[in-house]
Structure 1
Amino acid sequence: MGYKTTLNQTVILENPPLCYTSLSGSCQKLVYPKEVQSLLYILFAFISLLTFLGNLLVIITVIHFKQLHTPTNYLILSLAVADLCIGGVVMPPSMLRSVESCWYLGSFFCKIHTSLDVTLCTASILNLCVISVDRYYAVCHPLLYHSIMTPNATAFMIGVCWTVSAFVGFGMIFLELGILGDEDYYYSNVACEGGCILFLSKTASSVLQTNF
């Protein structure tokens, strides 16, 4: 059974709309009223633009002013780069998928987009963790701070953050580690033409929780 969302009710359709009407393995499409679609596009575009411009301002400020070239601000710069890429690269295709409820950009770009999404979100989280470590030493061990949080140590931590994030993001998607142990279920019940979702099996989730 298919569903069409209206402003006042949900109507059950006998012939549900599909992302690709000519393909038998197509995903079902959730059709929003035009007014709702327009409002969602405006809202998501505003959030994406705000995220991009806000982090761009942080990046320009840190790079431009030499007095801000400190280990702490380099960590903030790394965080801003990750969030800028989320706003400029990940959010626009996600907006299209959310509003249209289908993915029309191809399976390969779906893998690229999902990999970047996981990579950048992981990098953002890891950078926040490193910043918290930096602040911990600055507040609790101020006499040791400058000997521990050196520029080389900061560069090393930033490199580790991005390397681990890229391995998790691209490795999980392109090596299909996310569906590890549930391959048959994924291809039989989840995968369809016009869909682009991040699927994590119990095995993959357990591995990620163990590593982090």
Structure 2
Amino acid sequence: MFDSTKGAVLIAPSLSNSSCWLNGRGWPSTFPAVADIIKAFFIFALSAAIVLGNLILVCVLNNRRYIKYIDNQPRYLLTSLALNDLFTGVLIAPVALLPALYKCWPYGEIFCQIQALLRGALSQQSAVILVCMAIDRYLYLLHPDTYHKHSSKKGCMLVISITWILSVSLFAMMVLPRTGYYFNSTGLMACDVFHSRVAYRLV
């Protein structure tokens, strides 16, 4: 459908067309192709690397031995960024194993909706934290007096909390409508936010 005043309006593909239970059939009986097994293996390896790498980073950043080498504010921001990536490795990437093997979505509508919300919110929050880190370093280098005067643990935690709340709220509004998500059968084989208008992709 097309709206001449507001641009093209796109409609999300039905999840039932990508479901492993299409037309009431059972679990796919065909054995996965070698290429699909290799893809699933790399997804598993990537998930494990993401989890392990970010767990180590969180532990190092908050270890008493290393705390003295980094200011509190960038340490909190880096920890938030590492936790964001850790959630991706735990909640997003492993879910793609079965879709990669069978090229369909086996988990149902609600789980697809939740995954689309998490993928969007985590990506958005990660980007905002990177911007906050850039601003933090800018103030630290060019306005050190102002930086040390106004920087605090509570203020930094407040900023991090706001980034989480706004990111989750924004993508909840986009994903909660039934037409706000779809199964992306390319790449990671996961559910994504569906943008009904091309301009929304800039968010």
Which TM class, normalised by the smaller chain length? 0.7 to 0.9
Rounded Cα–Cα distance in structure 1 between residues aligned with 2:73 and 2:124? 21
Residue in 1 aligned with 2:6? Answer: none
Percent identity reads: 25
Q: Deviations over 1:161-199 (max 9, x none)?
A: 1011111222211145848xxxxxx9xxxxxxxx94431
For 1:82-97, what aligned pairs fall within 5 Å after superposition? 82-97=84-99
**Residue 121 of structure 1 is aligned with which of 97, 120, 123?**
123
CA distance in 2 between counterparts of 1:176 and 1:153 reads: 37
Counterpart of 2:14? none
Partner residue of 1:200?
195
Counterpart secondary structure, 1:104: coil
Offset of residue 101 of structure 1: 1.9
Q: Which residue of 1 aligns with 2:23?
A: 22
Aligned pair count reads 173
User: Greater relative contact order (Cα 8 A, min sep 6): structure 1 or 2?
Assistant: 2
> What does residue 174 of structure 2 align with?
172
Once the two structures are superposed, residues 26-77 of structure 1 have per-residue CA deviations (whole angstroms, 9 ceiling, x without a partner) of xxx9x99621122111111111111111111111122232435611100000
1:35 aligns with: 34
RMSD: 2.9
8 Å CA contact 2:58, 2:79 repeated in 1: yes
> Structure 1's 177 and 63: CA in aligned 2 closer, same or farther, altered over 3 A?
farther
Quote the residue 1:142 is aligned against: 144
Q: Which residue is equivalent to 1:8? A: none
Shift of 1:123: 1.2
- Distance between the aligned counterparts of 1:105 and 1:86, measured in 2? 18
| CA 110–169 in structure 1, closer or farther in 2 if over 3 Å, else same | same
TM-score (norm 2): 0.73
Amino acid at match of 1:44: I
> Which among 74, 79, 82 is matched to residue 81 of structure 2?
79
Query: Matched residue of 2:21: which SS?
Result: coil
Give the conservation status (yes or no) of the 8 Å contact 1:79–1:127.
yes
Unaligned runs of 5+ in 2: 1-17, 183-189
Structure 1: runs of 5 or more not aligned: 1-16, 180-185, 187-194
**Matched residue SS, 1:22:** helix
8 Å contact from structure 2 (residues 54, 85) kept in 1:
yes
- TM-superposed CA distance for 1:23, in Å, is 4.4
